[in-house]
Amino acid sequence: MRILAGEFTIAKWEEQSFMDTPLPAKANEASISYIVSGDLEGELRGKYIMIYNDDAQASYNGALQFAGTIGKQSGSFFIQETGKFEDNVATTSWVIIKGSGTRDFKTISGTGSYSAKDRSVNFELEVEGV
């Protein structure tokens, strides 16, 4: 088991409604891109599905692909993300989709998490297979 840490910043966030809901609830999807630095260097890209109770609370699920490097190793892998937004904090869990890796990341697996309060986010990822 290896602990990786880093930071990501939002490069793109395009959010729109995908279903009519009674206010104040919202059903939105977002296309996103993050720039990743630290033990992982590269980009996270993907989509979120977000269900807002109101502007102060939401639950979300995402599918993200990391493409880049971990040290001298390179490739890509997918992350499934689940989380909630409340009290102005997004609290998120990550699971690396086993078998989704390419090149040097073919055998990667693991889990991670982060709590986001602003546009720059620190994360931790516990991995095997790299």
Would you place residue 123 in the very low, low, confident or very high pLDDT band (cuts 50, 70, 90)? very high
**Secondary element (H or E) of residue 20:** none
Q: Is the pLDDT of residue 119 over 80?
A: no
Check pLDDT > 90 for residue 14.
yes
Q: How far apart are CA 69 and CA 40, in angstroms?
A: 6
pLDDT number for residue 118: 77
Mean predicted lDDT score pLDDT of the chain: 95
66-88 pLDDT, tens digit each: 999 999 999 999 999 999 999 98
Give the C-alpha separation, 73 to 96, whole Å: 17
Choices 2.40.350.10, 3.20.20.70, 3.30.930.10, 3.40.50.1010: CATH for 2-128: 2.40.350.10
Position of tokens 């977002």? 30
pLDDT at 39 over 80: yes
What is this structure's pTM?
0.93
Categorize the per-residue pLDDT at 55 as very low, low, confident or very high, splitting at 50, 70 and 90.
Answer: confident
Supply the pLDDT for residue 44.
97
Residues 43, 63: Cα–Cα separation, whole Å = 13
Sequence spans of domains, the chain: 2-128
